[in-house]
């Protein structure tokens, strides 16, 4: 099955930029979606189709996807952005794997 690789953790100071990567073979040919999950809460979609944002998601959240790596970028990080972030794609065998998740810590 298709494997998505995320770093277990990313740390960033408030006001700085956080970049969370999602690696997969030829992931640039797939649509990548990103979810934010805070402790005790259901996931929330923050980016879909590589770079689109649902209504209500701040412009500080952006996405890119090329080659073997997709990236979620969070600009001007705030304390409220501290959460787990998961990437997700659709694979040709009709599976929809999630990455293992990245814990974003705001220092």
Partner 1 sequence: EVQLVQSGAEVKKPGDSLKISCKVSKFNFLNFWIGWVRQMPGKGLEWMGIIYPGDSETTYSPSFQGQVTISADKSITTAYLQWSSLKASDTAIYYCARGTIAVAGGYYFDYWGQGTLVTVSS
93 forms part of the interface with partner 1 (CB under 8 A): yes
CB of 17 to partner 1, least distance (A): 24
14 versus 91: smaller Cβ distance to partner 1: 91
Q: 21, 6 in Cβ contact below 8 A?
A: yes
Write out the two tokens for 50: 């590589």
- Contact yes or no for 44/35 (Cβ under 8 A): yes
Q: Are 10 and 102 in contact (CB under 8 A)?
A: yes
Binding part of the chain for partner 1, among 13-21, 71-79, 92-100 by CB under 8 A, reads 92-100
Binding residues for partner 1, rule: CB under 8 A, are: 1, 29-31, 33, 35, 37, 42-45, 48-49, 54, 84, 86, 88-91, 93-101
């Amino acid at each position: 099955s298709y494997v998505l690789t995320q770093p277990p953790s990313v740390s960033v100071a408030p006001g700085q930029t956080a970049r969370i990567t999602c690696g997969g073979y030829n992931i640039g040919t797939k649509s990548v979606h990103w979810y934010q999950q805070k402790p005790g809460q259901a996931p929330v979609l923050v980016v879909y189709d590589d770079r689109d944002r649902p209504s209500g998601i701040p412009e500080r959240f952006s996405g890119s996807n090329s080659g073997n790596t997709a990236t979620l970028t969070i600009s001007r990080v705030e304390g409220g952005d501290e959460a787990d972030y998961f990437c997700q794609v659709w694979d040709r065998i009709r599976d929809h794997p999630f990455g293992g998740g990245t814990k974003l810590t705001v220092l």
